Amino acid sequence: MKKCYISIAGATAALLWATAASAASYTSSYSDLDLGKCALVEEESEIGFVQVKCSGQHGYDVYATEGDLRLYLAYRKPGEPLIIEEELAEAEETAESVSDQVEAGAAEADVTVDVVETEPEEAVDVFVPVGVRPLGQTIPPFNNLGPKLEWRAPNRAGAEPFATIVRYTYQQMTEDGSYSNGQVLVVSRFRNGDSCHVAYIDALANANANVMAREVADKYATAGSCPDGAVPVLGRGGDEFRY
């Protein structure tokens, strides 16, 4: 029995050591999200649109964009590529329209026309020109941002951050039809000028929400790709974000 106790104690110690070692592999730094002190990029007061650029960590700029009572965040270093998707979409729509017109004309003339399917061209990477800025992502409900941005990075000198954690406050509907303020932690990853949400954690329903956010950032934002479809909601609560 004594040997069994020693074995269990040794396994527990090993597990605690492994957890601590994993946590020590990454570290956090913080930057302010005081939007009133950030540089104005663009403003259209008639439609309630404004974008500012804030200083982040390791040379990153943080673009905060307000539109439709929601705040979007994007992360980019000066000179990183920007993928222009709008031009590609317009070209595809034009090609489809021309194809439809050709087929319609052939049907009227009782002529057989072979339509050759071609692969759409890939989006073109270009450097960010003046006047073109990233929009980023937001959460569906009307929202606001917390005052701090947490950056996750490997725990070594000069290491580049790979993820951020930010607290959003938002309006949520209660059972009696009234509204109250909810809070959600949003984990984002970024690579080569592109950023996306990785996970949502209800900051009020989960007592260890900050720890959960760091763990998911360290595990899922260091590699892989952006979620395909709905962003995962971890832990309890967060019904407003489950689809």
- pLDDT digits 0-9 by tens, 38-67: 999 999 988 889 999 999 999 999 999 999
Write phi, then psi, for 108 (nearest 5 degrees): -65, -35
Mean pLDDT of the chain: 77
143 in the same domain as 65: yes
What's the pLDDT score for residue 13?
43
Query: Are residues 118 and 137 located together in one domain of the fold?
Result: no
Most confident among 56-60, 89-93, 162-166, 174-178 (mean pLDDT): 162-166
Where does a domain end: 94, 122, 150?
122
Angle ∠(22,27,31) on CA atoms, nearest 5: 155
On whether both 171 and 100 belong to a single domain, the answer is no
- Domain count for the chain: 2
Q: Pinpoint the alpha helices (H) of 45-194.
A: 86-109
Residue 10 has pLDDT above 70, yes or no: no
pLDDT, residue 107, reads: 54
| Longest Cα–Cα distance in the chain | 94
Range(s) of the domain holding residue 100: 86-122
Residue after which a domain boundary falls, among 122, 145, 179: 122
Assess whether 183 and 221 both reside in one domain. yes
Is 168 in the same domain as 91?
no
